[in-house]
Chains A and B, each alone.
Chain A
Amino acid sequence: AQSVAQPEDQVNVAEGNPLTVKCTYSVSGNPYLFWYVQYPNRGLQFLLKYITGDNLVKGSYGFEAEFNKSQTSFHLKKPSALVSDSALYFCAVRDRGSTLGRLYFGRGTQLTVWP
Chain B
Amino acid sequence: DVKVTQSSRYLVKRTGEKVFLECVQDMDHENMFWYRQDPGLGLRLIYFSYDVKMKEKGDIPEGYSVSREKKERFSLILESASTNQTSMYLCASQPGQSRTDTQYFGPGTRLTVL
Taking Cβ atoms with an 8 Å cutoff, the residues of A that contact B are 9, 32, 34, 36, 41-46, 49, 51, 90, 94-96, 98-103, 105-108
Check if A100 sits within 8 Å of B108, measured CB to CB.
Answer: no
Given contacts A34-B102, A43-B106, 10 further A-B contacts (CB under 8 A): A32-B99, A32-B100, A43-B90, A44-B90, A90-B42, A95-B99, A98-B99, A101-B98, A102-B33, A102-B58
How close is B86's CB to chain A, nearest CB, in angstroms?
16
Q: Assuming A102-B48, A106-B42, A107-B41, is B98 touching A46 (CB within 8 A)?
A: no
Interface residues of A: mostly helix, strand, loop or mixed?
loop
Verify A46–B104 contact, CB threshold 8 A: yes
- Contact residues of B with A, CB < 8 Å? 4, 9, 31, 33, 40-43, 45, 48, 50, 56, 58, 90, 92, 94, 96-108, 110
In the complex, the answer to whether B108 meets A101 with C-beta atoms within 8 Å is no
CA distance A99 to B97 in the complex (A): 7
- The distance from the CB of A91 to the nearest CB of chain B, in whole angstroms, is 10
Q: Which chain A positions have C-beta within 8 A of B96?
A: 101
Report the separation of the CA atoms of residues A102 and B110 in the bound assembly, to the nearest whole angstrom. Answer: 23
Number of A-B contacts (CB under 8 A): 60
Q: Which 7 A-B pairs have the closest CB atoms?
A: A43-B105, A107-B42, A44-B105, A105-B43, A101-B97, A43-B107, A43-B108
